Amino acid sequence: MKALIKDQPARGATYTDLPIPKIGEKDLLVRVKAAAICGTDIHIYQWNEYAASRIKLPLLFGHEYAAEVVDVGKNVTHLKTGDRVAAETHVPCGHCYQCTTGLQHICKDMKILGVHMDGAFSEYAVLPAVCAWKLDLSISYEIGATMEPFGIGVHALSKTKPAGKKVIVFGCGPIGIYAQMVAKVSGAEYVIGVDVTPERLELAKKMGTDIVLNSKEVDVISEVEKITKGLGMDIVVELTGNRGVLNDASKTLRRGGDIVLVGLFSGPVEWDVVNHVIYKEANVYGVTGRIMWDTWWTAQSLLLSGKVDVGPVITHRFELKDYEKAFQLAQSASTGKIVFEI
Ligand SMILES: [Zn+2]
Ligand SMILES: [Zn+2]
């Protein structure tokens, strides 16, 4: 099968032929139909510190995908050949404290597809059956491949009650835009998106965000002050993972508001906890991945309701062999989702 792998501890990737993988008793063999590029894949492609410290080579990477089941392990009873599935990336151990209390997505011994084990930038992939979400027939493979990142936006907003509230999202990458769409459909009074890339701000606007602010051009804190007539935001979602942004984001939050932290900072951050959290009695939430399977049900319902159309967030499509062009574009941080049609 054709596959895009990482086999050198250097920038780039290798497009090659691999044998079709063998599956275990609890796995599915799937024919991958669409796979999206995630920030993690960019780290792996660039081979930065994040990738070098986590990844054992060679690795078949790529983890946001949808596929058709072509074979099932002998202990898999709930799925069959021909089923259409999307992949949950967090592979839970199934028996730790978290796994046995409904928190599989933060399993103590969690493995991540395409990071700790082979992923899906390939024609075929092994998907642990425990991580397979059966796709509704009306949801395309392409949309199915983006349900994983869409789910992060859904999960982030699920910590809050956006109806009638003022919501600001720092970061207008795909997950940021998904979060803004979820806030909007959940009845937010208005949603503000902040980014530094004009293309992404434009995309956020197109997807329904009420106000977009380019933090390179305007002082976001005083803009928010004006927009909210001094009240501040009820809900702040931080998705940039940029260390400089956290304190500014916190300054836009009203007293007693909610701040949801999702973006991954590289290393420890300096955060004025006394002023931004304690004196404000801010509610701080950390969010990672998607709750299995609550988030997926909600994500699916939002898509099936017809009130959320995530299709246009996919801005570029490539064949796997054109991976260099795809990754070059992905690194520009100016696009929506980039999907490989496989
Ligand atoms: Zn991802
Ligand atoms: Zn576990």
- Measured in Å, residue 148 CA sits from the centre of ligand 1 at 7
Q: How far is the CA of 91 from the centre of ligand 2 (A)?
A: 9
Q: Which ligand is nearest to the CA of 42?
A: 1
Which ligand places an atom closest to the C-alpha of 62?
1
Give the distance (Å) from ligand 1 centre to CA of residue 249: 24
Sign of dihedral through CA atoms 300, 318, 5, 263?
A: negative
Residue of 40, 160, 240, 252 marked catalytic: 40
For residue 173, the model assigns a pLDDT of 97
Spatial distance between the Cα atoms of 246 and 238, rounded to a whole number of angstroms: 7
Ligand 1: centre distance to CA 70 (Å): 24
Catalytic residue of the set 16, 43, 95, 105: 43
Q: How far is the CA of 165 from the centre of ligand 2 (A)?
A: 35
Q: Which ligand is nearest to the CA of 105?
A: 2
Nearest ligand to the CA atom of 119: 1
Q: Which residues surround ligand 1, an ion (CB under 5 A)?
A: 38, 40
Ligand sitting nearest the alpha carbon of 107: 2
Task: Tell me the two tokens of residue 88.
Answer: 């949950």
Question: Cα of 92 to ligand 2 centre, how many Å?
Answer: 5
The one-letter amino acid at 221: I
Closest-CA residue to 62 (of 6, 23, 131)? 6
Determine the pLDDT at residue 266. 86
**For residue 132, what are its two tokens?**
């397979």
Give residue 114 CA to ligand 1 midpoint distance, Å. Answer: 9
The confidence score (pLDDT) of residue 29 equals 98
What does the alpha-carbon distance between residue 159 and residue 287 come to, in Å, rounded to a whole number?
9
- The rounded Å distance from CA 149 to ligand 1 centre is 6
Question: pLDDT truncated to tens, each residue of the chain (342 aa)?
Answer: 999 999 999 999 999 999 999 999 999 999 999 999 999 999 999 999 889 999 999 999 999 999 999 999 999 999 999 999 999 999 999 999 999 999 999 999 999 999 999 999 999 999 999 999 999 999 999 999 999 999 999 999 999 999 999 999 999 999 999 999 999 999 999 999 999 999 999 999 999 999 999 999 999 999 999 999 999 999 999 999 999 999 999 999 999 999 999 999 988 999 999 999 999 999 999 999 999 999 999 999 999 999 999 999 999 999 999 999 999 999 999 999 999 999
Q: Which residues have beta carbons under 5 A from ligand 2 (an ion)?
A: 92-93, 96, 99, 107
Q: Is 40 a catalytic residue?
A: yes
**According to the model, what pLDDT value does residue 267 have?**
86
Cβ within 8 Å of residue 16, ≥6 positions away: 2, 3, 4, 5
